[in-house]
Amino acid sequence: MAKTGNLYARIEPDVKEEAEEILCALGIPVSSAINMFYRQIILQRGIPFAIKLPDASRMTQAELDAELEKGYAEMLAGQTKPAEQVFQELRKVNQP
């Protein structure tokens, strides 16, 4: 086995917990995810994803309010799925 080094980082507890739950659902250990991230930094010679403000930042307050109202109406109409159900469906689609 290759030698390993230690990485110490300060991460907001809620961000850490949410990310670890997702990685667990995907079956990826945190150390493997960090290793993949670092390898992509090396391969891409930089951050391996675009760093930009979300599209919501370009919305006017009225547009943002309209989108929020739309989502709320869909929720009240039962047109949403629990996150766990969506993850289960994604896992089924992505299995060989």
CB 59 within 8 A of CB 67: yes
User: Residue 44's domain spans which residues?
Assistant: 9-51
Q: How many domains does one find in the chain?
A: 2
Write the pLDDT tens digit of every residue in 53-83: 776 667 888 988 998 999 999 989 988 888 8
Claim to verify: residue 16 and residue 47 sit in the same structural domain: yes
Claim to verify: residue 67 and residue 39 sit in the same structural domain: no
Under the banding of pLDDT at 50, 70 and 90, the label for residue 52 is: confident
Question: Does residue 3 lie within any of the structural domains?
Answer: no
Claim to verify: residue 17 and residue 37 sit in the same structural domain: yes
Write the pLDDT tens digit of every residue in 2-26: 788 898 999 999 999 999 999 999 9
Position 94 scores a pLDDT of: 66
Average pLDDT over residues 78-95: 82
Question: Does residue 2 lie within any of the structural domains?
Answer: no
Question: Does residue 14 lie within any of the structural domains?
Answer: yes
20: helix, strand or coil? helix
Q: Looking at this protein, which amino acid is placed at residue 94?
A: N
Residue of higher predicted confidence among 90 and 38: 38
- Distance (Å, whole) CA 68 – CA 75: 11
Q: 30-44 vs 13-26: helix axis angle to the nearest 10?
A: 90
